[in-house]
Amino acid sequence: MTTKSRAACVIGWPVEHSRSPLIHNYWLKTYGIAGEYRRELVPPEEFAGFIGSLAARGYVGANVTVPHKEAALALSQPDERARAVGAANTLWFDDGVLRSTNTDVEGFLHNLDACAPRWDRDLSKAVVIGAGGAARAVIDGLLGRGVERIILVNRTLARAETLHQAFGVRVRVKRWDELAEALAEAALLVNTTTLGMSGQPGLTVDVARLPARAVVADLIYVPAVTPLIAAARARGLRTADGLGMLLQQAVRGFTLWFGIKPEVTAELRRLAEADLGTDKNRR
């Protein structure tokens, strides 16, 4: 047990939905660390002031969620990854300097590595659906791992074109109605849209068009088993789900703030599933 108590928080507007307190407080308890992780409800107009007083409020760092991720980038010293993604979700003090990164990239990749080992043996073609903030993190991660070609499909074509401009020629844009065709020979399919989330419209993807070696990832974690993940599993494809990514992306922040690299255990996953009310969806 360390003697000096440390605190971190998640800052959002709204923030009640965040599962970060469950994850970090589980790890604090597991590793016997004197510390606390709280929610901070901060409106956009108060965000800069809050960040300016983060240390004075007793925080060693913070997670940042909607709608503050771009503002957090501007108010801190971002690493290359946060800059590439255009958003920061994790802040920490380093010799008094407030630094930031984006842990969605490593969360996505570590989860893929854990759920579908050696998925990167075939880096020829990936299909990414969606062109929002999460898609930026996924594309940055996939390009970093050497994926040769990413076919990007988004409802709003212009938004996808912006990502092509930002990430370069390995990202090729296709129209929404070209999705089915794009699936042929894709080694990896990733859904980064909100389609398939509880309360949102469904995502129509014919997984039968994917090759048998394909891996399917969905960033959505409510429900834990999305219709896309269920269809992929029914076809015998390997899958990586959004809850696994959510848990993996939290590892870096905890390590930076509390000095121990925590483990994503089966028990933590069960607690998160129960909290999300999705344990009935477990397979």
Residues contributing to the site for ligand NAP (CB under 6 A): 104, 107, 130-135, 154-156, 159, 192-195, 197, 201, 219-221, 242, 245-246, 249
- Nearest distance from C-beta of residue 111 to ligand NAP, angstroms: 8
- 97-101 vs 90-94, strand pairing mode: antiparallel
CB of 134 or CB of 256, closer to ligand NAP: 134
Q: Which of 114, 113, 186, 183 is nearest to 144 (CA)?
A: 113
Buried b (16+ CB within 10 A) or exposed e, 88-112: bbbbbbeeeebbbbbbbbbbbbbbb
The CA-based diameter of the chain, rounded to the nearest angstrom, is 59
Rounded CA separation 207/180 (Å): 9
Please pick, among 4, 29, 69, 125, the residue that the annotation labels catalytic.
69
- Nearest distance from C-beta of residue 75 to ligand NAP, angstroms: 19
CB of 237 or CB of 245, closer to ligand NAP: 245
- Nearest distance from C-beta of residue 185 to ligand NAP, angstroms: 23
- Nearest distance from C-beta of residue 89 to ligand NAP, angstroms: 8
What DSSP string describes 160-216? Answer: HHHHHHHH-TTEEEE-GGGHHHHTTT-SEEEE-SSTTSTTS------GGGS-TT-EE
CB of 119 or CB of 221, closer to ligand NAP: 221
CB of 122 or CB of 218, closer to ligand NAP: 218
Q: In the annotation, is 29 catalytic?
A: no
Residue positions annotated with a catalytic role: 69
